[in-house]
Structures are given as C-alpha cells and as structure tokens.
A = this chain, B = another copy of it.
C-alpha cells in the first residue's frame, strides 16, 4: 500500500503528538459544494450516487481537492445495511430517508438475513477500494456505519420521525423483538465495518443519530450495549497501523463517561457539550472529535476564526483532538467559509502542539 503522506488524523485519534490539530467535516462531500451538485444531478437520485463506485469516489475526493482537510470519508449513507436486508431504501425529495417495507413484527424480524458485505454491499466495498487508490496516500479514509439502534429506529419506523413512536412502542411493548433485531444488526454492522477495513478504510465511525432519544438506562441497554458488541469484534489493524473507532451519539453529551468505556478510540461530540468539560470527564481514555456549531459557518470569516479559537482553547494543549463540526455541514454554507474554517484550525492550533 502507498505510504500515508498526512497521518495527523490517525495520530490524533491515538493521542500521539501532531504538529497541528487535524480537521475534517461531517458531510464534507455534500450539497454546499457546486461540484457535488453537478455530479448528483448527473447520477439522478441519491442512492444511485451511493451505488456507483466511480461517482461515489469522485464526490468523496471533491472536498479533499478543494480544502487542506486531514481525512476523507467514504461517500455513502447510514442506511445501506437495511436496504441490503430488503427494506427498500428511497429518498423522497426533501423528506429524508424512507423504507418501502417498514419492520413491524417479530416474524418479519426473524426472516431478516445478515447481508454479505462483498455481495449485497459490494458497491460500498468497491467504492472504498477505488477511493483508497485515488487518494494515493494523501489523507486517511474513514469508513462508517449507522449504529444498530439507529438502524433499528429507521427500520421499524419506516422513515425519520420526531417521536419514533413505532420503534419505541416495539422497544417497550415487545422488547424481545427489538433485541432480536438489534442483535442481527450488531452482526451486520460488524461484518460491514470489517469488510470496509479489509477494503482499505483506515478508521471507522459509528453514527448513533438517535441514541439521544433514550433514557440513560435505555441508552445503555438498547444502544451502547450493541455498539460495544460491534467495537469488540472489529479488526483494528490495517497496513500495520491501528484502525481507530469513533463513536458518535447525537445528544449523547450526558453519557460520555460510559461511551468512553466502550473500547472505542474516540468520541464524536455534538455542540451541546463544552469540549473542555468533555475532556475532563473522559480523562485520557479516548480522543475527542468535534464540536463547533455548524451554524457558525453562516457568520463572517472573523467570527468563524473566533469560534475556532474558542473551541481549540476549550480543548487545550496536547494531542487527542480532531476538529470537526458538531453535526453535518448545512447545505447553504458558502464553501469559502469552509476554507476559512480549515485554514484557521491549522494556523491557530500550532501553539497547542509545541
């Protein structure tokens, strides 16, 4: 394999010394970039773009070509696994993801088969292989999956939702059915992420978008428990280097201590937690990734630089911080403001790594 030219991201996740704080941006390949919108139009719908390895590779590399980012992330969707399980993922314009066949019964759950990543999800693995080749060692490639709980909420509900009533009804009224589903999904996520690592992913991230809908007790039982199962079975080496695992529970700021005990390398933070407080709470157990409010990118370059200064200062000196937004970048952000962000992180963080 090609030598990695910029390994700041991997070093920071292992809390090894770096020259400056590495930075990447959730949804960095996305609609705020005109070159992305052009490819998206060519591809047709969103899933056609995800399922075409050449186009997925092209959009993955767009932000890397434009900004001095320290990591690339596979262009894909968190719901590829349920789609491969036969639920029929589609995106209604402006409405977010939907499934043609929501899962509502124990018998439907019993019939689900764990997909073979190199068969039903081969388009993802082909994209990973192609992106690694095209990146040619410029920066590391991050693979990812939705968490078992997050996949389950969408699968049972059939779509995004404010309350996820169907998913929560199953959880409370038929907990056995929900646990069977989560167990299958933990297997599926494990195999999927291990296949991405085998195909070339140099770090992986688990997105637990809906873990924050749970009580502290139920987060442990229905979300974190299954993420731990996944983390424990991941192949943690690639090209002779450690493959770090990042866990991100949106609105999970109250549970960082228990997340840090999961065996992961780092926690992703949304912007509702102060990153300095988070660092004090997790100590030296894990690295931290985050956590600027994405809406700051609407403000002026000066204001963006000020906010970068504040987030870097809150984390403080030493390695273990990967700069990111607290959630995905909004679609209407000016790409010039992203350049300000990325350059500011590199420029203003050097002082913390002397």
Contact = CB atoms under 8 A, between A and B. Distances in A.
Interface of A: 163-165, 168-169, 171-173, 212-218, 251, 253-254, 271-274, 277, 293-296, 298-300, 303, 310, 330, 332
Contacts of A216: 272-274, 277
Given A216-B272, A273-B216, A274-B216, A165 B298 contact: yes
Contacts of A214: 272, 293
Contacts of A299: 169, 172-173
B165 A295 contact: yes
Contacts of A294: 163
A274 B332 contact: no
Contacts of A218: 293
A278 to B, nearest CB: 10
A172 B273 contact: no
A215 B293 contact: yes
A164 to B, nearest CB: 8
Contacts of A173: 298-300, 303
Contacts of A303: 172-173
A77 to B, nearest CB: 17
A218 B303 CA distance: 14
Contact of A251 (B164, B168, B272): B272
A80 to B, nearest CB: 22
Interface centre among A214, A216, A272 (most CB of B within 10 A): A272
A330 B165 CA distance: 8
A294 B330 CA distance: 31
Contact of A272 (B165, B212, B295, B298): B212
A214 B293 CA distance: 8
Given A272-B214, A272-B215, A274-B217, A295 B169 contact: yes
A298 B217 contact: no
Contacts of A165: 295, 298, 330, 332
Given A253-B254, A254-B273, A298 B215 contact: no
A157 to B, nearest CB: 12
Nearest to A165: B330
Contacts of A164: 295
Contact of A330 (B163, B217, B251, B254): B163
A213 to B, nearest CB: 8
A172 B253 CA distance: 23
24 contacts: A163-B295, A163-B330, A164-B295, A165-B295, A165-B298, A165-B330, A165-B332, A168-B293, A169-B299, A172-B293, A172-B295, A172-B296, A172-B299, A172-B303, A173-B298, A212-B251, A212-B272, A213-B272, A215-B293, A216-B274, A217-B274, A251-B251, A251-B272, A254-B272
A271 B330 contact: no
Contacts of A330: 163, 165
A251 B215 CA distance: 12
A306 to B, nearest CB: 10
Nearest to A300: B173
A155 to B, nearest CB: 17
Nearest to A327: B163
Contacts of A251: 212, 251, 272
A169 B277 CA distance: 26
A298 B172 contact: yes
